Amino acid sequence: MFKKILVPCDGSQLSHQAAEFAADLAKQHNAHVIGIYVIDPFPYIGIGDASAVGIQAYLSEAQASASRALDDVRACCVARGVAFDGDTIERNVTYEGILETADAEGCDLIVMGSHGRKGMQALILGSVAQKVLTHAKVPVLIVKPQ
């Protein structure tokens, strides 16, 4: 039924649980997993010459975090004998990067974690998962904390 499953990751334990779920599902459907990590390319404004150094340090650490998170998804897939490709992209709006990737890669399912925020916390912090659910053109499977 599913051929390409997109797994957005952030390196958290919940992201790992979603990756395991997606890899198990991919194995059952003989599907391919696409891992995606979205980096905010410019989260702050620096002043003067130090800003370029700060941006480079930030992007270097963000790339390292992305590599660790994607390696985790890859390991889940390798352990189950599932095909995997991963990519890191830069977008100012995370959910838009996820949806653009799902469309560009021809994914027919998105599997991602949700931290389960409620009330004021959800209102203030927002939810990438909620925005993906609202705007996705393909089914979205949300993995909740265990």
3-state secondary structure 102-140: HHHHCCCEEEEECCCCCHHHHHHHCCHHHHHHHHCCCCE
pLDDT for 49 beyond 80:
no
Q: Name all domains of the chain by residue range, CATH numbers in brackets.
A: 4-143 (3.40.50.620)
Quote the CA–CA distance of 35 and 82 in Å, as a whole number. Answer: 12
Quote the CA–CA distance of 113 and 110 in Å, as a whole number. Answer: 10
pLDDT for 134 beyond 90:
yes
Around 133, how many Cα atoms within 13 Å sit in the side-chain half-sphere? 11
> What pLDDT digit, counting tens, does each position of 73-124 carry?
999 999 999 999 999 999 999 999 999 999 999 999 999 998 755 555 555 5
| pTM for the predicted model, two decimal places | 0.89
Model confidence at 55, pLDDT cuts 50, 70, 90, reads confident
